[in-house]
Amino acid sequence: MKSTLLVFAFAAWAIPLASGAHEGGHDVRGVVVSVSGADLTVKTSHGSEKFVLTPETQFVKNGAPATAEDLQTSGRVVVHGKKKSGRMEAVKVEFAAPPAPKKK
């Protein structure tokens, strides 16, 4: 009984923290259309989305730290953004290395 109560108490504490951490966030999945300076454009199933890259933007390639220079046009990405100062800033950009060419 005590362990069940402890689990419920932890869940009641943790769930609001998780939802608050993502408050105001905007996530998209798509294909890189362009990366130019501080601008990233991603084509999604709903159209194109533009993000501003900042010095705080995190880049993750195959689970390891990366840079904006590692992004490639036509590469698939997941962008976690947040509206700030009237613009959508990329908080985190996740992507993988392009697949190896198929052998003939």
Q: Is the pLDDT of residue 38 over 50?
A: yes
* Domains of the chain, each with CATH number or no CATH: 25-95 (2.40.50.320)
- Tell me, what's the pLDDT at 23? 58
Q: Is the pLDDT of residue 3 over 70?
A: no
Measured in degrees and rounded to the nearest 5, phi and psi for residue 89 equal -95, 140
Count CB atoms within 10 A of the CB of residue 87: 12
- Tell me, what's the pLDDT at 68? 95
- Tell me, what's the pLDDT at 102? 80
pLDDT, one tens digit per residue, over 46-96 is: 999 999 999 999 999 999 999 999 999 999 999 999 999 899 999 999 999
Q: How confident is the model at residue 20 (pLDDT cuts 50, 70, 90)?
A: very low
Q: Is the pLDDT of residue 21 over 70?
A: no
How many whole angstroms separate alpha carbon 72 and alpha carbon 34?
Answer: 8
- Tell me, what's the pLDDT at 98? 76
Instruction: Record the pTM.
Output: 0.73
The pair of structure tokens assigned to 50 is: 């533009």
